[in-house]
């Protein structure tokens, strides 16, 4: 992975984490937490989309949608587990 690819991956993670924060709780979590949430969401979303056989064609938009969907699901599950 080149430095450019790493920076793009972190940028997509930050935006996905911020979007997931807006969707789930109405605001972001700060830059570092947004990146962590977005990167974990990208990994989980990529795995989940693969298992469900959901194709993602567009490189930038598809990556952002996958990461955001994964992050939203992760935040929802974490919120659900914390309430128990």
Give residue 27's pLDDT band: very low, low, confident or very high (50, 70, 90): confident
**Nearest-angstrom CA–CA distance, 39 and 82:** 21
**Which whole number is the average pLDDT over 56-69?**
90
* pLDDT given at position 67: 96
Q: What percent of the chain has pLDDT over 90?
A: 75
Task: Please spell the DSSP secondary structure of 36-59, one letter per residue.
Answer: HHHHHHHHHHHHHHHHTT-----H
Asked whether the predicted pLDDT for residue 71 surpasses 80, the reply is: yes
pTM of the model: 0.90
Measured distance CA(23)–CA(76) in Å, rounded: 10
Select the more confidently predicted residue: 81 or 16: 16
Every domain of the chain and the residues it spans: 12-78
Top-confidence residue, 15 or 25? 15
């Amino acid at each position: 992975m080149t430095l450019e690819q790493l920076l793009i991956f972190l940028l997509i993670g930050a935006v996905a984490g911020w979007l997931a924060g807006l969707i789930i709780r109405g605001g972001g979590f700060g830059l570092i937490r947004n990146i962590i949430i977005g990167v974990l969401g990208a990994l989980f979303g990529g795995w989940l989309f693969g298992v469900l056989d959901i194709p993602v064609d567009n490189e930038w938009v598809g990556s952002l949608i996958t990461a955001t969907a994964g992050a939203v699901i992760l935040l929802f599950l974490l919120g659900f587990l914390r309430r128990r």
